[in-house]
Copies of this chain bind each other. A is one copy, B any other.
């Protein structure tokens, strides 16, 4: 568990896209971020107050979160200087970078000297159990996709936000690096040992109030041969009561797999539901979330209507039109 609130470190981000972790925190947990720290040449801006380390500490920030991708897979000397000063100023540091904070001897030494934590959220810090498959109290929703990177995390976060606004009980349950940094906790599922994948999802989503929803972040796709085992573990460990189908209609092939076509939404619906009902016979598919970012408004609206008519479930782009209709559908379960 990462201590909040955060100071968002944007470093020398070459463009706004490089700071997508910071953007996710800004968009979904604005209360978690008291300010931003930008270095010379930084091209990203979260529209948060620019703060020195001292100002951020005075404003209550407990953890410096690396909200930006690094260049060339190394933590540069310029970054190091800031990170070491942050540790000395009393910050923990949290990172989802591929190269780990704990592998940097100078950061480890500075953290030890200051009595601070280095959180590498790509690496599991918990000894997860083997899944036992027992039913748990409370409700669970999982987004599953026709492909990777079609908007599953966005959908779960957008639904969670609407649910909270409506006074429903909801928790976003992060299963990836960005989600973990946004919420401060979760399971880095793609880094979990095979035997413990489903168990880690059970651990992530324990018993809860009967009217509480866990909005579990999806990963991969049952139809993506590189990562389908991870998706399977989410479906069986998550025991979802409700599935949301996610799709990006302009993809010409599965992400990173030029030889593989995307499945139809109907194929995704039928396969996901069959597998989910092994763990939870009451599971239902309740809605469809479409990422229409590569379509014009008219085209997007027409596409969503066509899908809705064809499949008979609410079909929305939560970015364009909000997640309200998906939450309406969930409230019926």
Known contacts A131-B226, A279-B225; is A191 also within 8 Å of B193 by CB? yes
In angstroms, how far is the closest chain B Cβ from the Cβ of A136? 12
Known: A133-B260, A191-B193. A198 touches B227 (CB 8 A): yes
A113 at the interface (CB under 8 A from B): no
* CB-based nearest B residue for A267: B274
Query: Using an 8 Å CB-CB cutoff, how does the interface string of A269-284 with B read, 1 for contact, 0 for none?
Result: 0010011001100000
Contact for A226 among B133, B193, B222, B227, CB less than 8 A: B133
Tell whether, in the assembled complex, residue A130 and residue B226 are in contact, meaning their CB atoms are under 8 Å apart: yes
Contact code string A116-145 (vs B, CB < 8 Å = 1, else 0) = 000000000000001111110000000000
What's the Cα separation between A222 and B236 when bound, in Å? Answer: 10
Closest to A130 in B: B226
Task: Give the CA-CA distance A279 to B227 in the complex, in Å.
Answer: 12
Using C-beta atoms within 8 Å of the partner chain, give the interface range for chain A.
35 or more
A193 to B256, CA, bound (A): 20
- Quick one: given A190-B195, A229-B233, are A223 and B278 in contact (CB under 8 Å)? yes
User: Assuming A191-B193, A225-B236, A228-B275, what are 19 further A-B pairs, CB within 8 angstroms?
Assistant: A131-B225, A131-B226, A132-B256, A132-B257, A133-B225, A133-B259, A135-B259, A190-B194, A190-B195, A192-B194, A193-B193, A194-B194, A195-B226, A195-B227, A198-B227, A222-B232, A225-B237, A228-B236, A229-B236
Q: List 11 A-B contacts (CB under 8 A).
A: A133-B254, A190-B193, A192-B193, A193-B193, A193-B194, A198-B227, A226-B236, A228-B233, A228-B236, A229-B232, A231-B232
Chain A residues in the interface with B (C-beta under 8 A): 130-135, 189-195, 197-199, 222-223, 225-233, 236-237, 254, 256-257, 259-260, 263, 271, 274-275, 278-279
